Structure 1
Amino acid sequence: MADYGYPDGGGEEEDMQWPPAPPAYGYPDDDGGGERPPFVLIDPRAYFADRKNATTAVIDMEAGAPNLRGRLQVTFCAVAPPLVSYFCVHASHMDRTEFPVAPSILATETDGGLALLRVATVDPVYPPDHVRPENCQYFVYDALARKLHQLPQPGFQHRLSEPSLAIMRKPNKSSQNTSKHVSLRPHVHGEAEAEAEADFVVAAQSYIFWGKESPHICIYDSAIKTWSNKPVVMGSSYPERHLPSKTLTIGGSNGTVAWVDLWYNIVLCDVLAKCPKLRYLKLPTEPCDGGINPRSLRDIAVFGNTIKYVAILHHPDTSRWVATAWSIKKGRRSWPKEWHMECQLDSTHIKVDAAGRVATFPTLSSLFVGLPTLSLQNDAIVYFLAKIDFSPRQRTAWVLAVDMKNETAEQVVEFPAERTYCVAKGYDASRISAYLQPAPGTQQMPK
């Protein structure tokens, strides 16, 4: 099998030597600042650019933060899929060479308008592309309030695992009494500002979590503006192997988080409970060998009371592949046998229209296809990244929107792949676009 991306990335940071300009689309506001897409495919790595639109938020960086100075500006440029949305970062008193890697989105609220960002700065003692935890600062972008919040540096006593980071708004008392699934929805502008003041929580597994006798999670609570550690109960049937590759916030009064090892299993944790106890759910497919990054072949998402999962299986020594979509009702006790196969797609059957013509552009038989990404509109659409080869220097790529049930490529758009290594990274699906504030003078109606 060809190399479909390894967990360590390998070459991902080369873009910092020649940072490309952001795409021309999506700026300043393709839709005039009005209604936003219900979800987006968004590149998690920022572009360095001084762009401003209705989403722009700024913050004066704290003087005590290592090597950070001046004002930080964040702007989102949202477009409907399959075009890939992006965001821009500008530091008023810093040069881009002072950042070893591009600022990045580490987590977004599953059903809300919060995004957790990481900004790393160069340490003069280390190579310019080296990222040290001590030099990483975390910011929360609140789309409802159009504000940035700088979190205190976690420090060594709260050293955390970044792939397991999750963010959610804290449920208020009324929501605890009326609903087990808490999610804010876009409102008219005035109501959105009021709800945006709700406190939030950031949670993650500790850096060394599995295999410890007394594991704990690291939690930041915006109400008290501090980090803390909370012990968790592993239970007697915890998995032998679990390496988080994607995190989902399910929410509810206990603040349930799902840590997903896309090869093996889901670990559920009620991070707001006084004594969180972990629960486990095995995925319906078998893992692959070779240390491949699982995101290049698999994806998972939450839709209300349902969890959906998609996996690609490549046939040996051929370009043919099969994608299978599964679903399961989420609950406190879900069993692996409850996974339901919804549909299966053979790449050799993909058509470009209802008339049944087989897809020839791009020629799937000559491309490397991966990064399956579930549509967040709860339909049968899955997005795939297709590249001519894996090299970061190869800038020709496409995003395909494929209807799994009808076996039809609904749309194909070009993708700016200068910064993409293999097909394991490039974009993630997020609902944050539905919460981005409209331009002044326009009104965004509830969805």
Structure 2
Amino acid sequence: MAAVASSAEVHEGTRSCVLLNVRGYRAARRDATTATSYTSNGHPIEVSFRAALPPVLSDFYVYCPALQLQEPADYPSMVPKAIAVDGDLFLFRIPIDRVGTMSLTHNDYFVYMARSPPHRPRLDLLPNPSHDTLGDKEIAILSCADGGEQYVVTALRTIPGSKTIHRLHLYRSKPNGEQGRWTSQMVSVEGPLMRDLVCPIPETVHRQVHHVTSKVIRLGTGANGMVGWVDIWRGILLCDVLQESPKLHDMPLPLPAKSNSHRAFLNTTDQYCGDVAVSRDKSFIKYVEMEIVTPKIVSATPPGDCDPDPFLEWLRRRECKDLKRTLVHGRWKATTWRMPIPVTSWDDWCRDCAVESAELSTDNPKAYELLCAVSKESLKEDDDDKAMEAATTTTTRLPLGRLGMAYPAMSIDDDVIYVLTKPVMGNGKAAFLTAVDVRRKKVLAVAKLDSAVFMRYYLAVGISKHFFSAPGTRESLGQAEDHGQKSARRRRRRRGKRQE
């Protein structure tokens, strides 16, 4: 995976935030980030990282020869899956047999711990929580206050039929890498269900589920174990999981925009229009909502009377090969909100900034050229093509109306959102990530993805500098020196030695 149009200068201060590919690679990549351990079946396993500057995805690599021998060439489903990150800690799972692609109980869970030299990274195998299966989106990992050598893994499960009672699962590690154990207890929401007061579920809608977790965020540091389980449309269930008697607190999200109100009561974890994150210094929660009108292709009506049967009318249109097709441009608006931490009242949500797609410009020539090239994959329109050909600067109107853009991911460092981008006629073709500064109304960078799937398969997470300790990582972060500059410096050193 390579950045097609990225700007290292723009992102110089955002190295703690990366976009981690959820799907790991089953391959060996030995370097300073490599950690080793054993699976529950006793097979050796190793994990490595390749960190990259957003919007390029960062990747992790898992190599276990015994597991790879189990999988024939036509069965490429046993890939490792990233779950959660907190500073030096990274939690992932990997199927240990073919059943593991369908059952979480046939997965091994590992915690990777990045450490500063001369210490090597550590890889811990967790005991499987056999009493229950935990969804990937329900799990968080917390670094404790002792320098990160000990940690907690936690998950919250909803109880069917109950609005206020949930089951909290907790795993505490032990010193020196010894395995801890899982515990669980029932926890209840303390105080009123604020989301039912702010945005109650109408009895007429299909969704009558109080909470569906879309992602988990950590609000505290060290001994402060405050974690939030986010329902992207309803609200956040907050809990300090390190307390002896933890309680849940309900905090609704800002009311959805009118154009998204129909999505608020769908029984889904889809983050098509929104995302929630916590700032790097843990001082506020960040929320973004996109209002999206997708571009679409409209065909002219063929001559003759329309058939009253929809299927026959579809066949009639299909048989007309020479129908003129027109691209109706789309548009979107992104609005960000902030909530100070500690969280106290729903009234503390503050609208921060907003941008419409038509307002965006860019100072990055490569990003502009790439967006224009991608937009031409959509149905061509003479007026737009002539306008793009006549453009002589990168401050002209960007062709975003011809692109499908959704699934925003928020940076923890600044006002940047990373938006998945694809041409309208892009079925089977590559997708892209576009970095948009909402406050400055700028497109900062664009990167091509390996997968053409128009779905979020990456996590916007904050990782420590120890993940970047591998040789070659500086190059992936856009800090590599030009080869000519290196050669010139070597020649100067050689001349200096000869003169001596």
Please indicate, yes or no, whether the TM-score normalized by the shorter chain is above 0.5: yes
Q: 1:227–1:327: structure 2 CA closer, same or farther, 3 Å change rule?
A: same
Within a 5 Å distance, the mapping from 1:138-217 to structure 2 comes to 138-144=109-115, 146-155=121-130, 157-172=131-146, 195-196=147-148, 198-206=149-157, 208=159, 211=162, 215-217=166-168
What's the TM-score once normalised by structure 2's chain length? 0.67
- The offset of 1:96, in angstroms, is 6.7
**Alignment match, 1:429:** 460
- The offset of 1:229, in angstroms, is 0.9
**Alignment match, 1:329:** 340
Q: 1:96–1:341: structure 2 CA closer, same or farther, 3 Å change rule?
A: farther
- The offset of 1:75, in angstroms, is 1.1
**Alignment match, 2:58:** 85
Within a 5 Å distance, the mapping from 1:276-355 to structure 2 comes to 276-286=246-256, 287-289=261-263, 293-303=269-279, 304-315=282-293, 319-333=330-344, 335-353=345-363
- 1:365 is aligned, of 401, 424, 434, to 401
Question: Would you say 1:397 and 2:431 are equivalent positions?
Answer: yes
- The offset of 1:234, in angstroms, is 2.0
Q: 1:77–1:395: structure 2 CA closer, same or farther, 3 Å change rule?
A: farther
- The offset of 1:92, in angstroms, is 2.2
Q: 1:278–1:291: structure 2 CA closer, same or farther, 3 Å change rule?
A: closer
Letter in 1 for 2:218: T
- The offset of 1:389, in angstroms, is 5.0
Question: Would you say 1:58 and 2:41 are equivalent positions?
Answer: no
CA RMSD, 1 decimal = 3.0
- The offset of 1:249, in angstroms, is 1.5
**Alignment match, 1:115:** 90
Task: Tell me if structure 1 keeps the 8 A contact 2:2–2:448.
Answer: no
Task: Tell me if structure 2 keeps the 8 A contact 1:231–1:276.
Answer: no
- 2:217 is aligned, of 236, 248, 261, to 248
**Alignment match, 2:190:** 235
- The offset of 1:262, in angstroms, is 0.9
Task: Tell me if structure 2 keeps the 8 A contact 1:209–1:215.
Answer: no
Partner of 2:271, secondary structure, is helix
Letter in 2 for 1:366: R
Q: 1:207–1:45: structure 2 CA closer, same or farther, 3 Å change rule?
A: farther
Task: Tell me if structure 1 keeps the 8 A contact 2:421–2:434.
Answer: yes
Higher relative contact order (Cα pairs below 8 Å, separated by 6+ residues): 1
**Alignment match, 2:489:** none
Task: Tell me if structure 1 keeps the 8 A contact 2:189–2:250.
Answer: no
Task: Tell me if structure 2 keeps the 8 A contact 1:320–1:365.
Answer: yes
Task: Tell me if structure 1 keeps the 8 A contact 2:219–2:341.
Answer: no
Q: 1:139–1:406: structure 2 CA closer, same or farther, 3 Å change rule?
A: same
Aligned length in residues = 369
Specify every segment of 5 or more residues in structure 2 that has no aligned partner in the other structure, as ranges: 197-209, 296-328, 365-392, 475-500
- The offset of 1:324, in angstroms, is 0.3
Q: Whose radius of gyration is greater, 1 or 2?
A: 2
Partner of 2:347, secondary structure, is helix
Instruction: Give me the whole-angstrom Cα distance separating, in 1, the residues matched to 2:470 and 2:363.
Output: 37
- The offset of 1:138, in angstroms, is 0.7
Task: Tell me if structure 1 keeps the 8 A contact 2:430–2:450.
Answer: yes
